[in-house]
Amino acid sequence: MALFSKKPAEKTPLDGVAVVLADLDGVVYAGPKAIPHAVESLNKAAETTRVGYITNNASRTDAQVAHHLRELGLDLVAKDVVTSPQAAMGLLREVAPAGSTILVIGGEGLTHEVTKAGFVVTDSAESNPAAVIQGFSPDVGWRNLAEAAFALNARPDGYPDGIPWIATNMDWTIPVERGTAPGNGTLVSAVHLATGRLPIVAGKPELPIFDEAKRRFNTSAALFIGDRLDTDIQGAVSAGIASALVLTGIDRAKQLLAAPVGSRPDFILSDLRELHEPYPVVVIDKRGGVTVRDACVSLASAAGGMTDLVIESAGDSELDLLRASCAAIWNSGKAIFGFNVPEHLYS
């Protein structure tokens, strides 16, 4: 992994990568507007490397997403966009008979894929659906969630445990122009509380959406860029894909320092310009101290079995200091609650 390399190397995060896969919310845009430096950086990457886009947001079709991205200045077509509804169709085909009626809780992005897959869409539990599929839409309301609960609580012939339930994703929040808003996971949890059931999930961090991307772009030599540890990075790690966390969305320094095994990125970027810049070598000494360029941290025993993270040299870059601190904590084998961390590192 790049964070723990001990060999000097002047490599960018894009070296050796066949396909760049970028999340959208918090990476490319927040609401309708592009995040600074994202568009030009991804267009530059596309000059030498194929670029695809993955989104858990199920409210729009791939064509609508591609149109929005082109309006922002990106060069792509609809097939370059992998959506959670597309990944969910593989799951739906496994649990519902071909051509059956499906209760869809969500927006056009989801109904479009369900229809394209040959199923009949309904919004009422009274239509005796063969399955429920749920995805994010800002227009989903109580009546929609109630219909899902009615359908899932029923026990029709052949389904003693209830009909299948698929969620496109479980993101608790979604970044929008005005800030952070409830995501599909929040809406799914309302149905869960009303039914006592849990859905099968297609989107990040689950594997179906990454498997769809691998098939679509015919490669495993990918770099996935995300802004969330619990969905983007965890999913990429599980899928065996290199990952970069960019600090323009949901997760920031505090979450990075506490990242558990399985949710730790290979690269930490302040913005997407750094895709094209040499990534600094991380040097770890025998005592667990870490140096990144001129930033240096060490570990020291403290009272009560705690460990102090000591800043030996802050260096010229807050980002390099964060990279060094993450490497020291992650390499220690200890969880974050065993550390005393200087507050300014994460505030």
Contacts of 157 (CB under 8 A, 6+ apart): none
Q: How far apart are CA 167 and CA 159, in angstroms?
A: 19
Kindly state the average pLDDT of the residues 144-167: 96
Name the 3-class secondary structure at 131: strand
pLDDT of residue 147: 98
Q: Quickly state the pLDDT bin for 226 (edges 50, 70, 90).
A: very high
What's the per-residue H, E or C state across 24-39? Answer: CECCCEECCEECCCHH
Q: Pairing state of beta strands 120-122 and 101-105? A: parallel
Residue 154 has pLDDT above 90, yes or no: yes
Confidence band (pLDDT; 50, 70, 90) for 193? very high
Q: Which H or E run contains 66? A: helix 62-72
Residue 71 burial class via C-beta count within 10 angstroms: exposed 0-12, middle 13-18, buried 19 and up: exposed
Q: Peptide bond before 156: cis, by omega within 30 degrees of 0?
A: no
Q: Annotated catalytic sites, by residue?
A: 23, 25
Burial class of 316 by CB neighbour count within 10 A (0 to 12, 13 to 18, 19+) = exposed
**Quick one: CA torsion of 311, 306, 246, 23, rounded to 10 degrees?**
170
Q: pLDDT digits over 51-103, tens only?
A: 999 999 899 999 999 999 999 999 999 999 999 999 999 999 999 999 999 99
Are 99 and 118 in contact by the 8 Å Cβ rule? The answer is yes
- Structural element, H or E, at residue 55: strand 50-55
**pLDDT tens per residue across span 157-182:** 999 999 999 999 999 988 777 888 89
Could you tell me whether strands 29-30 and 131-134 are parallel, antiparallel, or unpaired per DSSP bridges?
A: unpaired
Give the pLDDT score at 8: 61
Would the pLDDT of 7 be above 70? no
Residue with tokens 């969630």, as numbered in its chain: 145
Domains and CATH numbers, the chain: 13-56+205-276 (3.40.50.1000), 85-199 (3.40.50.1000), 282-345 (no CATH)
Q: What's the whole-number average pLDDT of the chain?
A: 95
pLDDT tier, 5 (very low <50, low <70, confident <90, very high otherwise): very low
Higher pLDDT, 288 or 189: 189
* CB half-sphere exposure, 324, CA atoms < 13 A: 30
**6 class by beta-carbon count within 10 Å (0-12 exposed, 13-18 middle, 19+ buried):** exposed
Tens of pLDDT, residues 276-314: 999 999 999 988 899 999 999 999 999 999 999 999 999
Whole-model pTM: value is 0.90
